[in-house]
Amino acid sequence: MPPMNLRDLTDESGFDPDAIAASLRTTKGEIAATLGLGTDALSRRSRISSVATQRRLREMVEILNRMQPHLGSALAAYAWYRSEPLPRFGGRTAEALVRDGHADRVRQYLDDAMAGGFA
């Protein structure tokens, strides 16, 4: 199954929280909580288009797209993102790391794991 199509997840102002929530069969409120954002960050147009909100949405979608081919679906990748403890980070999840501003560490972890390195 191919990764989530970015064209389906964006609109003229960037990543569209409604489209992302629909793709993951969840709510914008859950997406906001997953990203460590307030619910207004994904419901008020001015907040949706903010650099910080768009960065968090992009980081999550990038990581989900990297995991989807290995896990079989966007829903499985989202479940992994939210619940799989990552040994390198003391059992913290990708969700917790991204929420705390460490998406780069998750991407490096995935690079290492996919290259056959020690995770």
**pLDDT (tens digit per residue) in 62-115:** 999 999 999 999 999 999 999 999 999 999 999 999 999 999 999 999 999 888
**Has residue 119 been placed in a domain?**
no
**pLDDT surpasses 90 at 5:** no
**Has residue 75 been placed in a domain?**
yes
pLDDT recorded at residue 11? 80
CA angle 73–117–94, rounded 5-degree value: 45
**Has residue 1 been placed in a domain?**
no
**Has residue 18 been placed in a domain?**
yes
Range of the domain at 49: 6-114
pLDDT recorded at residue 46? 85
Q: Which residue has the higher pLDDT, 45 or 117?
A: 45
pTM (2 decimals)?
A: 0.88
Domain count, the chain: 1
pLDDT recorded at residue 10? 80
**Has residue 48 been placed in a domain?**
yes
**Has residue 108 been placed in a domain?**
yes
pLDDT recorded at residue 117? 62
Cα separation of 100 and 30, whole Å?
17
